[in-house]
Structure 1
Amino acid sequence: MTLKLIEQHFSFDGVQSKYSHYSEVLQCDMTFSIYLPSNQEKKEIPLIWWLSGLTCTDDNFSQKSGFQRLAEKHQVAVIIPDTSPRGENVADDAAYDLGQGAGFYLTATQEPWAKHYNMYAYITDELSRIAAALIPNFSGKESIMGHSMGGHGALVIGMKNAAKFKAISAFSPILSPSQVPWGIKAFTTYLGEDKASWKEWDASELIKTTDAPPILITQGTGDQFYPEQLDETTFLENAKVTDAKVTYKKVKGYDHSYFFISTFLEDHFDFHIEQLS
């Protein structure tokens, strides 16, 4: 594995870095960003994953959220994958909600997507090994968070790997992708017409059968995609089946943007640090 350092910046005494590498899982070149706190006391460092939404790259969260202040405050590393495989030979679609920039954090089974669109294994296996090697004094403790499509990804990956992730949080997540336009379009394309195969990638289905770690969700009432794409009803009803530890917060007037995320990000970091301690 060869990593190429693209850029690096000091931020709040820690270091924000951006790398590229060839992914064997995705069969293309990928980028990711990682923040390492200063760790002046040489303590063990936990890791928080951030998964971004449709059309985003690893730059959106690193440049717009201001998370570095919180990561340094709590002495936690943060890794930010890209949202999909990319490149001239990677299948794409002209629509913003499908193809490059819209990987949906799953394992595609349909052609031409199956060759490259395997974000689930990329995150849980390949990039996990890279992250562990990059973090000095890594504690082995991890949690996961995300926004919109990335909120869907955080919930699905977090619940499918409940022994790995101590906590899950999400901003305006796609909670029931099998029931809403974004998810139906992506699942039909990447997974095929058999809706039974969709269930393992739907948070509202997984919550019924999973011993999930604690979950925090924040949703703005002024979100332009709520409730059409982001309705919480089925997820919260199904969470009762397993008595899952879900905290769902609606905040009046907030939209889908990073103004919303940056406002409530400290709450999410506090939640994660409590579970990672």
Structure 2
Amino acid sequence: MAEGIYAQQYFACTERVIAQLFDSTELGCKMRFGVYVPPQAEKGPVPVIYWLSGLTCTEANFIQKAGAQKHAADYGVLLVIPDTSPRGLNILGEDDSYDFGSGAGFYVDATHEPWKKNYRMYSYITEELSTLIHEEFSTLPSKQSIMGHSMGGHGALICALKNPGMFRTVSAFAPICNPISCPWGKKAFSGYLGGSEDNAAWKDWDATELAKKYKGPVLDILIDQGKEDSFLKQDQLLPENLLNAAKDNGIALTLRFQDGYDHSYYFIATFIEDHFKHHMKYLKS
């Protein structure tokens, strides 16, 4: 197992998630992540779903609020829930705002000082953590997928679009779909990547821009978006931009607007089973 398993354990829907701690080479610090191992793993390897959380979250939010463990048990899937950024690096400004620095890694590999040494969440998720999971748990490396919420929805989308074939499918709740065109994304990218939205480097971390040039295997994307989401109304999420880019490039994308729902975990908990069903169409095939 990963070094230094916590004594702490999370309980939700009567199913246990064990939080783990290990030294990340990519991020240069100790990182927490949660793992739910379904009963089916005792009999043989199981598929994997990664969940990426949003701004201000840790690995605990999804574990405690989404009610996902029950569905993971029903479908026989190992869940991996990482933290959202490096922690405790004492970088000047890392704790100054909720939408940049701690809790706001944006799942990119930073190229701009002073962030580029440690803020490498993309490589951490797609290389280091993925390798660790397949080494330490009974999994099927060829059957993994990814989903997330808000900033984590952005992360899930870019991880899938930048790694054709690595993830069987991807889904998201209220994702930041076009960060180069929204305030959250412009702030994060200017800090982590430098430059401006006209910089090609920004476009390489933007799901809408990546969808325009995707050439990989068939990718079926599911997105749920609450109609009463205040961040949708503030043009932070821009799902229609991604929908149009996907359509133009022949990518299957289902965008569902849900009446009465906002950006909260009540929204996620209501529709999380639909997302498991979507993922299992590809993880069981």
Identity percentage over the alignment? Answer: 48
- Given the alignment of the two structures, is residue 66 of structure 1 paired with residue 73 of structure 2, yes or no? no
Q: In 2 relative to 1, CA 208–52 (structure 1 residues): closer, same or farther, beyond 3 Å? A: same
Which residue pairs with 2:84 in the alignment? 83
1:182 and 2:184 matched: yes
Answering whether residue 225 of structure 2 is matched by residue 224 of structure 1, we say no
Alignment of 1:104-253 (within 5 A): 104-138=106-140, 140-194=142-196, 195-210=199-214, 211=216, 213-227=219-233, 228-253=235-260
Corresponding residue of 1:274: 281
**What is the alpha-carbon distance in structure 2 between the residues aligned to residue 119 and residue 83 of structure 1?**
8
- Aligned mates of 1:65, 1:264 — CA distance in 2: 9
Aligned residues: 277
Compute the displacement of 1:15 (Å): 4.0
**CA RMSD for the aligned pairs?**
1.8
- Residue 44 of structure 1: how far off its partner (Å): 3.0
Match of 1:51 in 2: 52
2:4 aligned with 1:4: yes
- Note if contact 1:44-1:139 (Cα within 8 Å) is conserved in structure 2: no
Say whether the 8 Å CA contact 2:12–2:67 is kept in structure 1.
no
Query: CA separation of 1:238/1:137 partners in 2, compared to 1, >3 Å: closer, same or farther?
Result: closer
Give, in whole Å, the separation in 1 of the partners of 2:108 and 2:259.
Answer: 32
- The 8 Å contact of residues 13 and 72 in structure 1, kept in 2 or not, is answered as no
In structure 2, distance between residues paired with 1:226 and 1:64: 22
Q: TM-score, normalised by structure 1?
A: 0.95
Q: Aligned partners of 1:118 and 1:100: how far apart in 2? A: 13
Which residue is 1:256 aligned to?
Answer: 263
| Structure 1: gaps spanning 5 or more residues | none
- Letter of the aligned partner of 1:274 in structure 2? K
Give yes or no for contact 2:247–2:253 (8 Å, CA) kept in 1.
no
Q: Could you say what secondary structure the match of 1:110 adopts?
A: coil
Structure 2 length-normalised TM: 0.92
1:31-50 aligned at under 5 Å gives the runs 31-39=32-40, 42-50=43-51
Deviation at 1:163, TM superposition (A): 1.1
Q: Which runs of 5 or more structure 2 residues have no equivalent in the other structure?
A: none
Whether 2:24 is the aligned partner of 1:18: answer no
